[in-house]
Amino acid sequence: PSHLNNTTPLNAVIAFSLAAGGGVLIVVLGALAVTAFRGRIDAVPSVRLALRAGFALLLAGLASGAAMIARGEILIKQGHRAEAYSHAGFLKWPHAVTLHAVLVLPLLAWWLARTPRTEAQRTRIVAIAATTYVVAALAAVAISLARA
C-alpha cells in the first residue's frame, strides 16, 4: 500500500516521494543499462556477460514494478482501493528475483576471476547462472500470474 496510499497528506507525500525516487532509478539504471549493452565495458567476457544479463534482468524487474503500480492505480481510480492494496503486488516475486541479478551475477564473475578457472570456464559458469536466473524469473512470473 505504501506506493499507492494517498488517503492522508503524509501518505500522499510518502507515495509521491516513492514515485519520484522510482522515476530517478529508472532514468539512472536505464542509462547504465544502455552503457552496458553498447559494449563500453572494459572487462573480460565473463564480467561483460554478467553485467549485461544483470542489467537485462534489472530492467525486467523495473518493468514488473511499474506494472504493479499501474495495476494498483487503475484499481484505485475504479474505486477499489482495498483490492488495489491486496492485489497490486501480484508480481512481487518476479520483481524481487530480477532486481537482484544485477548484484549477484557481477559478484559471481568477480569471485570466479579469483579462482584458477580459465576465462572460457568463467564465462560458461556466468552464462549458466544467468540462464538459471531467467528460468527462475519466468517461473516466478508464471506462478504469480496463475495466482492473480
Secondary structure class of 100 (helix, strand, coil):
coil
Give CA–CA dist 46/39, Å, rounded: 13
Cell readout for 130 is 544467468
For residue 47, give the nearest of 100, 125, 99 by alpha carbon: 125
Give the phi and the psi of residue 143 in degrees, each rounded to 5: -65, -45
Residue 1's pLDDT is what? 66
pLDDT at 3: 76
Query: Whole-angstrom Cα distance, residue 98 to residue 61?
Result: 5
Low-confidence stretches of the chain (pLDDT < 50) are none
pTM, entire model: 0.85
pLDDT at 55: 94
Predicted pLDDT of residue 42: 86
pLDDT digits 0-9 by tens, 108-130: 999 999 999 999 999 999 999 99
